Structures are given as C-alpha cells and as structure tokens.
Structure 1
Amino acid sequence: MPVSLAKYVRSAFHGRVLNDVLPVSPTCEHLAEHLSQWLAGERLGSYDGPAPLVRVSATESSWAEYRKAPE
C-alpha cells in the first residue's frame, strides 16, 4: 500500500463508522472505487499510465477490484 494511501486511510477512516464517512454504503465495491479515485487525484505531474487498480478484501477468499475505465 502506498504511504500516502495508508495515511489517508488512517486519517479518514480509522476509529470512525464508515456509514458516517462515506456518501454511499461501505461495501467492498464502493470502498475500492473511492480509494482508486482518491489515488488518481493524488497523482502529480503529467503521469499518463493506467488508472490505479484497488482491491478491497471482504474475506480471505472474496474481494472487489476497481479501476476507472479509460476515457
């Protein structure tokens, strides 16, 4: 996990009720989308690589992934 993402997760979510923090229900799918979009917004300069892929685990054997489709 990138350091900037770890800091964001700690400051935005640690010790808080996710239903109170996010404007949508805190499913793995919504969390993956939110974090991927946050990472995309943190990119500096003229980065033109692929959008960040984020995987959020629900259990040891299930997860959701999100990557914004190219425009």
Structure 2
Amino acid sequence: MYRITKEFHFSASHQLIHLPAEHQCHRMHGHNYIVVVELAGAELNADGFVRDYHELGPLKSYIDDTFDHRHLNDVLDVPTTAENMARHFYDWCKARWPETAAVKVSETPKTWAEYRP
C-alpha cells in the first residue's frame, strides 16, 4: 500500500461549552491547528502518484476560507473537539478523493486526534 500525507495549518478559537464551566476548555481559547490528510492506494496512477499533491489545493482553500481565524463554534454543528474536526475533514476529503484513508488534527505540539474508518 502506498501512502502520502499533506499538512495544512490554520489558527482559530473555540469553546467546548458542553463541558462544566470550571473546565479550562469551556472558556473561549484558541489554537494553531495542524491538519494532516493521508491518502492511500494499492496502485499508483500513470504519473507514479497516489494523487498529485497539487490536487489537494482545494483543501487548503476550504481551510483558509472556512476555518482560518474563525470561531469554530460558528462553523461546525458539533462540539469543536479535535476528534470531531478530524472526522469533519475526513468526510470532506473522502467526498473529493476516494483515496482518503485518514485525517489527523493537532491543537498543540503534543496532542493529536485521528479519524480513520
């Protein structure tokens, strides 16, 4: 199996308002997010790629236009956890690129959430 990944960055605020008021994540705060999309295939295309990285440009546009410097509670209809964001980006990518295998989201240099069916 061949696997490729590409990394995208954005900054945004959010609140996990479903948590108790005394929980630090209940308060509005922000992160410098990293999103890593992974594509996989048993075969390569005629150019020798799983998919040309350039074809992933729409994900950058989507992130920049919809998520960057936004309040994520205004963007997503689910709690804005890294886990839910990984699933959201996975579904968005899978609808465009069938080779999508997983998406990882980081909120801090030491934390990652991944969605992989």
TM-score bracket relative to the smaller structure = 0.7 to 0.9
Q: Percent sequence identity over matched residues? A: 38
User: Under a length normalisation based on structure 2, what TM-score does the superposition of the two structures give?
Assistant: 0.49
Write the distance in 2 (CA, Å) between the matches of 1:56 and 1:14. 14
> 2:109 is matched with which residue?
60
> 1:39 is matched with which residue?
93
- SS for the counterpart of 1:15 is coil
- Which structure has the highest strand share of the two? 2
- Number of matched residues? 63
Q: Alignment RMSD, CA only? A: 1.5
Q: Return the offset for 1:3.
A: 1.6
Q: What are structure 1's unaligned runs of at least 5 residues?
A: none
Task: Trace 1:19-38 onto structure 2 (pairs within 5 A).
Answer: 19-38=73-92
Q: What are structure 2's unaligned runs of at least 5 residues?
A: 1-5, 7-55
User: Under a length normalisation based on structure 1, what TM-score does the superposition of the two structures give?
Assistant: 0.76
- Which structure has the highest helix share of the two? 1
> 1:6 is matched with which residue?
60
Write the distance in 2 (CA, Å) between the matches of 1:12 and 1:42. 17
Give every structure 1 segment of 4 or more consecutive aligned residues whose post-TM-superposition deviation is greater than 2 Å: none
Q: Return the offset for 1:14.
A: 2.1
Write the distance in 2 (CA, Å) between the matches of 1:62 and 1:55. 10
